[in-house]
Amino acid sequence: MKNKKDRTKLMSGPYLFWALAFIIIPLCMIFYYGLTDRSGAFTMQNIMSIATAEHSKALWLSIGLSLIATLICLLLGYPLAAILARMKNRSGIIVFIFILPMWMNFLLRTLAWQTLLEKTGVINSVLAALNLPSINIINTSYAIVLGMVYNFLPFMVLPLYNSLTRIDDNVLNAAADLGANGVQTFLKITLPLTIPGIISGITMVFVPALTTFVISKLLGGSKILLIGNVIEEQFTQTGNWHLGSGLSIVLMVFIIFNMVISAVFDKNGEGNVL
Amino acid sequence: MSKRLIELNNISKSFNGNLVLDELDLYIRENEFLTLLGPSGCGKTTTLRIIGGFETPDTGSVMFNGTDITSLPPNKRQLNTVFQKYALFTHMNIEDNIAFGLKIKGKSDKYIKDKIEYALRLVNLEGYGKRMPDSLSGGQQQRIAIARAIVNEPKVLLLDEPLGALDLKLRQDMQYELIRLKEELGITFVYVTHDQEEALTMSDTIVVMNQGYIQQIGTPEDIYNEPENAFVADFIGDSNIIDGIMLQDELVMFLGTKFPCVDTGFGTNKPVDVVIRPEDVILSPPERGSLNGVVTHLIFKGVHYEMEVQAGGYEWLVHSTTMYPVGAEVGLSVDPFNIQIMNKPASEDEEAVSIEE
């Protein structure tokens, strides 16, 4: 027995090595850089710098835009997931079509939106041809939210779809049988039973939206800085790894907070797609 | 007899081009325990779902207490359903499950509390109110599903194979429980099952169905003792079904031997199905039987021995309390009133045809 157990342990070796080399060590390095200054002495300065006007503005803007994008994804995604779930077997091809854009490069998709939204871009050319007023949302927060919704909507729909298809038809029939109308059945049965999916979807949209710097860079121009852009700047332009790491640690706290909430609500791992 | 509470008139239903119910007529009397019995795919569950309002028939009408309810949605019908896999609300505790229908109807808290207590006592699960459905066994969940339905005081309780997922012992206990409930509540039960023993134990009336047609309607005794065709005879209990020829009234020939029987009115020299229950075959020493045969299989079943006897070119199934070992020569005989004579179906396809009333 013991032998067999040891062998099972051995099989996890390659992954443990991977985790050590590419997850644990980098994490330790972030903490090392985040908690030291250039001379290598311990400091809380990097972490506390989140309180400066520039950084806290970027953080709150990130949180605000991510929350808005998450809410829009939820409002768009829930009805869509409900329709897909009701289609049962025939939904396969539609889910496939829906996921198809995800196979395209993330950068490419976002660049495409840039081209579409430009002042002289495709959308405005069409609007001009139709004698309609042009829309100028490129390089604004609207464009960033649009980019977030477009890129992360599938991550909202899939866990919702999963938790909706898990509801036995007869459970909904039973609610109707006991006198509930459609709205009552939705509020008292469907919605509570899909909370794991909702929480999972929120996490899967909110976390990447909070940390993105590509979407804000391409669709927000250089005017709008999200916390992701600030951190990226520290590593690629300013070369201040210590400050960049310190801010990353702050961001991590928000993400872990979100993960804890989702773990509490989703004990059975029901909403997970991955 | 009490009045007709539910009437199904000329109901047809197909799914994706498959005809599931074909011009079905059926009525259910007040306070009766009616069972829809048949193999899977016979249309029994569809019939129940049409009564419950979960399916709409393609043609025909459903009458409830004299009113047409064919297109009435389930939440507006005065009946409640116990579903096959309980369909409890897993995110609510037992109390909230039971209270669901009453809360929708806006009953007072006091009324709801009393009802929950009454229902839990009725299904012998007092003190389970705060538990979650997942923490109960299958049999307990089933009883909660029943409690959840009956607190709404429906005129009719529909039960869709409610005992299908339970083990044998529990199933037998629940059968008695259901009979007791029905008597205490004094409401109509419409019960769907493929288990003939369940149907015989609990029902006032059994409706045997096959391939969308009603094969026979009758009391359990009628169905068992006087099956109207070979399908019913075969489906209810074990049967020996043998090709025969009705020579004249009260005389049938099968397996090359003439047997006196009690049936009349089939005409002369008419091909028929002869049905004999295994417990009606009398085994005796060879010289005393109408037919001679050899025992080929022997199984001890507890109350009786089950034997297969090769006689007259047919493998007879015999239940007897007297044991004959494998290889023994035996004589077979059957009392005239235990021989059931049935018309043959006109063709293989029509094996399922509806029977004329």
| Partners of residue B48 in chain A, C-beta under 8 Å | none
Name every residue whose Cβ is closer than 8 Å to that of residue A69 and which is 6 or more positions away in sequence. A145, A148, A149, A152, A205, A209
- Quickly state the pLDDT bin for A254 (edges 50, 70, 90): confident
| Partners of residue B192 in chain A, C-beta under 8 Å | none
- Quickly state the pLDDT bin for A114 (edges 50, 70, 90): confident
For chain B, give the number of residues: 357
Nearest to B182 by CA among B206, B203, B152, B208: B203
CB contact under 8 A, A174 and B90: no
Q: What are phi and psi of B162, to 5 degrees?
A: -70, -20
- Quickly state the pLDDT bin for B1 (edges 50, 70, 90): low
Q: What is the pLDDT of residue B282?
A: 92
| Partners of residue B16 in chain A, C-beta under 8 Å | none
- d(Cα B151, Cα B116) in Å, to the nearest integer? 7
A123 touching B (Cβ < 8 Å): no
Residue B348 has pLDDT above 60, yes or no: no
Is 1.10.1450.10 the CATH number for B4-225? no
Q: What is the pLDDT of residue B111?
A: 95
Q: How many CB pairs under 8 A join A and B?
A: 57
Fold assignment, A57-265 = MetI-like fold (1.10.3720)
Q: What is the pLDDT of residue A91?
A: 67
Percent of chain B with pLDDT over 90: 61
Pick from A167, A177, A187, A190 the residue to mutate for testing the B interface (most B CBs within 10 Å): A177
The stretch B133-159 carries a mean pLDDT of: 92
Q: What is the pLDDT of residue B3?
A: 85
Q: What is the pLDDT of residue A267?
A: 60
What residues does each domain of chain B span?
4-225, 238-352
Q: What is the pLDDT of residue B25?
A: 92
pLDDT in tens, A150-169: 999 989 998 999 899 999 99
Predicted TM-score (pTM) of the model is: 0.77
Residue B97 has pLDDT above 90, yes or no: yes
Is 2.70.150.10 the CATH number for B238-352? no
- Quickly state the pLDDT bin for B346 (edges 50, 70, 90): low
Q: What is the pLDDT of residue B177?
A: 85
Residue B174 has pLDDT above 70, yes or no: yes
The stretch B136-164 carries a mean pLDDT of: 91
Residue A108 has pLDDT above 80, yes or no: yes
Burial B206-223 (b: 16+ CB within 10 A, else e): bbbbbbbbbbbbbebeeb
pLDDT in tens, A48-59: 888 888 888 889
H/E element, A65: helix A53-86
Q: What is the pLDDT of residue A273?
A: 42
Of A78-92, A179-193, B335-349, the range with the lowest mean pLDDT is B335-349
Q: What is the pLDDT of residue A160?
A: 93
How is residue B17 written in tokens?
């081009």
| Partners of residue B75 in chain A, C-beta under 8 Å | 176-181
Residue B173 has pLDDT above 80, yes or no: yes
**CA A163 vs CA A206, A208, A261, B237, B266: distances in Å:** 19, 21, 18, 44, 61
pLDDT in tens, B179-236: 988 888 889 999 999 988 899 999 999 999 998 899 999 999 999 988 888 889 888 8
